[in-house]
Amino acid sequence: MSLLSQKMMIEDDGVNPPHPINKIKKSSKQDTWMPLMGISMKLTTATILACAIIISCSCPLWSAEPGFENTVKQFINVVASKDRMALAKVVSYPLQRKAPLSSIGNPRQFLEVYDEIFDENLLSAIFTSRASSDWSEMGWRGIMFQNGSLWLDEEGRITAINYETEKGRRKRAELIKADGSNLYSSLRNFEEPVLEWETAKFRIRIDRLSDNKFRYSAWPVNKKTTEQPDLVLRNGSITFDGSGGNHHYDFNSGPYHYRCIVNVIGGEIDSPGELQVTKLDQVVLSRP
């Protein structure tokens, strides 16, 4: 699936109470020595339990590592086997790739473009890695290899690969060149396409320019991208939200602010992206 086919249809939108505090009733002057001892023992027990809870919650990640390490070690064994089909079976499909490279929908497609995804450098880095030091459990985001070159879910399946092979870079460069010919003439000067989203009424595209700024273009959905866009915004910026790859792009037009939020790593209920438009800090449009 090319960049121009990676579209997200944007549809219309439509606290747990705090835990009660257990109160301890004070003893009256008439209380005997034995009840006081009972209360003291209960307080001591409660204190020990509270300390245990605090310690357990503040333990570093490695204290609960056995399952996490086993998942990583099993994946490393698959990589070490050099069995491409076995590796294709531990991928969470569809596997998205950097635009305009197409996403991968099944094991057969994975094997067809295997050399665009993995090379000896990445395979060697994984094979020689140590679960305790080269991999990190990142909560709901999954398990991260090194600085995010590859991600696994809790079951050990590949959910994202940010590493680029030489063959993958060449293929992507060819696609970027071809992609430019499908744009309006004044928009063909760009470094790389970033995304293209489609709503019920508009088609939105973001490109990275040579100055590392971003350009936002929008057309009515019934117009081709080879036609003049209705809106073009420049000098956009990108902001990364943590180490998981999630990020957003910001553009300004007078009192309006446009933000495209991209969820690279998200939960099952999270949408892949969201468009937000505000006017003087008031939200006027928000679509997943």
Render pLDDT for 10-33 as a digit per residue (tens, 0 to 9).
Answer: 333 332 222 222 222 333 334 433
Which residue type occupies 137?
A: E
What average pLDDT score do residues 181-185 get? 94
- The SS3 call for residue 36 is helix
- The SS3 call for residue 137 is strand
Does the global pTM surpass 0.85? Answer: no
Determine how β-strand 143-145 pairs with β-strand 282-287: unpaired
| Contact partners, residue 126, CB within 8 Å, separation at least 6 | 75, 76, 79, 145, 150
Residue 57: pLDDT over 80:
no
Q: Pick 242 or 238 by higher pLDDT.
A: 238
- 8 Å CB contact between 110 and 101: no
Residue 272: pLDDT over 80:
no
Determine how β-strand 202-208 pairs with β-strand 192-199: antiparallel
Q: Quick one: three-class SS letters along 82-104?
A: CCHHHHHCCECCCECCCCCCCCE
- The SS3 call for residue 147 is coil
Percent of the chain with pLDDT over 70: 74
Determine how β-strand 143-145 pairs with β-strand 150-152: antiparallel
Mean pLDDT of the chain: 79
- 8 Å CB contact between 3 and 99: yes
